[in-house]
Amino acid sequence: MIQTPFSTLKLHPDLQSNLPTLGYEVMTPVQAESLPHILAGKDVIAQGKTGSGKTAAFGLGILQKLNVKALQVQALVLCPTRELADQVTREIRRLARSIPNIKVLTLCGGVSIRPQIESLKYGAHIIVGTPGRIDDHLLRGTMQLNRVNTVILDEADRMLDMGFQAAIETIIGQTPKQRQTLLLSATFPDQIKKIANRIMVKPVMVKAEITHDSGTILQHFYKVDSLEQRMDAVRLLLQQHRPESTLIFCNTKKETTDLVEDLVHHGFSALALNGDLEQRDRDQTLVRFTNRSSSILVATDVAARGLDIDSLDAVINYHIANDPEVHVHRIGRTGRAGSKGIACSLFSDKEELKMTMLGDYLEQRIEAEPLPPQSVLEAPAVKPKMATLQIGGGKKQKVRPGDILGALTGDQGITGNQVGKIHIFDNWAYVAVSRDVVKVALKKLGEGKLKGRSFRVRMMRDWPA
């Protein structure tokens, strides 16, 4: 699924930092669709059932604008049942736990009203309750709603089915006209449309049922202003996520070589893959990337066509692809086989049109996130675990994988799990070995004989040693 992280929202930092502790990494469809409007203060009608994450959507909306210092009822959530009210209260408390002193009170029927009246004397910021009991408190004058800035009707269709329409209208009549009203409902009968017309102002309609393709790709977008910042951004992202294998897409061949030069200069292990490479160089590049002895491959779309690499940790779009379908294809290379993938895309003002097209295609509002802080550059770059040794003999010399493995591991050699992928071409072979046993491996292959012959062996380097 193409998923939007909460970090794309301008949420209060305390609310934002609490979300991962609840296990909320990405927004559910109803959250992704509604939260940008909710946070912008708009009235929203959302079609969402229990289980869609609707409570967190309006809960974050309430908390974002809550003034903790003013102990007055600022938000009112009306629910059809006590169970739902309890559930909503619990969720709001969880969302609010990083902000001290927020008071949430549940007011439902079926229990004695006295303790509720006592609690109300101490004040509350948020009231969650059933319409009958709330109406009762208003009649008794035990609660005021003149400072409410957000009203939520949760499961509105059920509330109407239960005959709460009159109570709802009376309650809303006691709240200020200048307020935000959010209505959640699984269905939209005429009765709901009529009530929405009376109590809401130009509501945005959000259909929570919209789901994107399934999968686990997390997309991030970053705005850059210059070529220099674009290169910088790549390094910041690599340092922040520290992926073991990354595919970076460029739109031109020159960009691939320029970016590799910059990355290698800064200590990263990167190789370029573009149409200018001779077949042998292309083979070598792919070998070194797939056997994990080079962690970054910078490629053009054409050169990467048909590339069969699984378990990529990250895909970075250096520029937005010219065609949204190409974008989806690019990012589809990460997060395979159920593993979590990261997809980062860089764009500038000049790519605004491509971004609009992409947003339409993904049916998603694309919002830029801030780049990681410069301090991430202080750590050394991720070094690949493996190194590639090139052997000057291949199929034509009848060198087989078993011969190479045997020469490396036999007679006080390295162990089998220190040997990675072996690729054999006509006149060359490549073997990946753990970086910490390169010397021994070189010695074993150099001294020992493969097929009764000595072959030239060397380690392939890609960054200044």
Provide the minimum distance between the beta carbon of 416 and ligand AMP in the complex, in angstroms, as a whole number: 42
Which residue lies nearer to ligand AMP by CB, 168 or 184?
A: 184
Please give the Cα distance from 394 to 359 (Å, whole number): 49
Nearest to 285 by CA among 136, 416, 425: 425
Nearest to 96 by CA among 68, 129, 116: 68
Provide the minimum distance between the beta carbon of 60 and ligand AMP in the complex, in angstroms, as a whole number: 9
Distances (CA, A) of 285 to 188, 263, 281: 57, 16, 6
Question: Taking phi first (over 0 means left), then psi (-120 to 50 degrees means alpha), and beta for anything else, what does residue 412 get?
Answer: left
Which residue lies nearer to ligand AMP by CB, 31 or 185?
A: 31
Provide the minimum distance between the beta carbon of 27 and ligand AMP in the complex, in angstroms, as a whole number: 5
Provide the minimum distance between the beta carbon of 191 and ligand AMP in the complex, in angstroms, as a whole number: 23
Residue number of the CB closest to ligand AMP reads 55
DSSP conformation letters of 352-399: HHHHHHHHHHHTS-----PPPPGGGGGSPPPPPSEEEEEES--GGGT-
Which residue lies nearer to ligand AMP by CB, 50 or 339?
A: 50
Which residues lie closer than 8 Å to 174 by C-beta, 6 or more apart? 138, 145, 146
Which residue lies nearer to ligand AMP by CB, 32 or 445?
A: 32
Provide the minimum distance between the beta carbon of 267 and ligand AMP in the complex, in angstroms, as a whole number: 37
> Quick check: 390 and 446 in contact, CB under 8 A?
no
Q: Which two tokens stand for residue 43?
A: 């009235």
Which residue lies nearer to ligand AMP by CB, 28 or 317?
A: 28
Provide the minimum distance between the beta carbon of 47 and ligand AMP in the complex, in angstroms, as a whole number: 12
Provide the minimum distance between the beta carbon of 130 and ligand AMP in the complex, in angstroms, as a whole number: 17
Residues in the chain: 465
Which residue lies nearer to ligand AMP by CB, 31 or 397?
A: 31
Task: List beta partners, residue 180.
Answer: 150
Which residue lies nearer to ligand AMP by CB, 78 or 445?
A: 78
Binding site for ligand AMP (CB under 6 A): 23-24, 27-28, 31, 50-56
Please give the Cα distance from 14 to 284 (Å, whole number): 48
Please give the Cα distance from 135 to 330 (Å, whole number): 56
